[in-house]
Amino acid sequence: MIFNKLLLIGEDEDEVTEISLHDFCRHKGEERSGPDQFELLRVLGQGSFGKVFLVKKNCGMDNGQLYAMKVLKKATLKVRDRLRTKMERDILAQISHPFIVRLHYAFQTEGKLYLILDFLQGGDLFSRLAKEVMFTEEDVTFYMAELILALEHLHSIGIVYRDLKPENILLDSAGHISLTDFGLSKESLDDSQMTYRTIEYMAPEVVNRRGHSVAADWWSLGVLMVLNNK
């Protein structure tokens, strides 16, 4: 059973008045990008702060490539949400790994923030689990192996993921996983304060607000394995 109960712990984020989000382009030789370089195809998802679109690049070296475009309205974002967006952009900009979603472009207009990410055609693990009721042992072994490689890579560069759950695990057309949604990750191996959490996958030290390190990710991985292999 998925509860999706969230906790909010007060932090110093609201003391920040301005968040700097620099443009980013992963493709060498490409000039700065903007929203007019992407054709909107359909909505993939939406929330209170913005939407995620399936888009197609209409120019450049990757002309015709499909991407997922996350569009966030600045006017609806609280300071903590802008910080989360900046954190996600900064983390994804430094990562290139087969089992972690890639950021291809990041830019902004006067009213909106844009992140252009891999489009994974297989949806997320939560949706697949809902359709199949329960995974086989072979499925769980396969996904766990790829998740372990992804987490080991993050930890090796000083990043604690902190939000491992089926909704944040995407699948490509061949069934391989990609971790996504790095807005809650922590670029530190030291203990950290808790922010928004999904309770059922949380480690005890996170629930009790004692601070946490990479061990919290391994706890969440174990919970994920047990819940999906009963």
Q: Is 191 a catalytic residue?
A: no
What letter represents residue 201's amino acid?
Answer: Y
Question: Which residue among 163, 180, 186, 217 is the active-site one?
Answer: 163
Question: Which residue among 74, 198, 217, 228 is the active-site one?
Answer: 198
Question: Which residue among 74, 81, 118, 165 is the active-site one?
Answer: 165
Q: Using an 8 Å Cβ cutoff, are 146 and 67 in contact?
A: no
Q: Is 81 a catalytic residue?
A: no
Question: Which residue among 85, 168, 180, 228 is the active-site one?
Answer: 168
Sign of CA dihedral 76, 114, 101, 191: negative
Q: Using an 8 Å Cβ cutoff, are 214 and 188 in contact?
A: no
What letter represents residue 120's amino acid?
Answer: L
- Rounded CA-CA distance 6/12 in Å is 19
Q: Is 62 a catalytic residue?
A: no
Q: Is 28 a catalytic residue?
A: no
Question: Which residue among 181, 186, 195, 228 is the active-site one?
Answer: 181
Would you say 56 is a known binding-site residue?
no
CA dihedral 132, 133, 138, 144 (to 10 degrees): 100
Q: Is 181 a catalytic residue?
A: yes
**Where in the sequence numbering do the catalytic residues fall?**
163, 165, 168, 181, 198
Residues making up the annotated binding site are: 70
Residues making up the annotated binding site for ATP are: 70
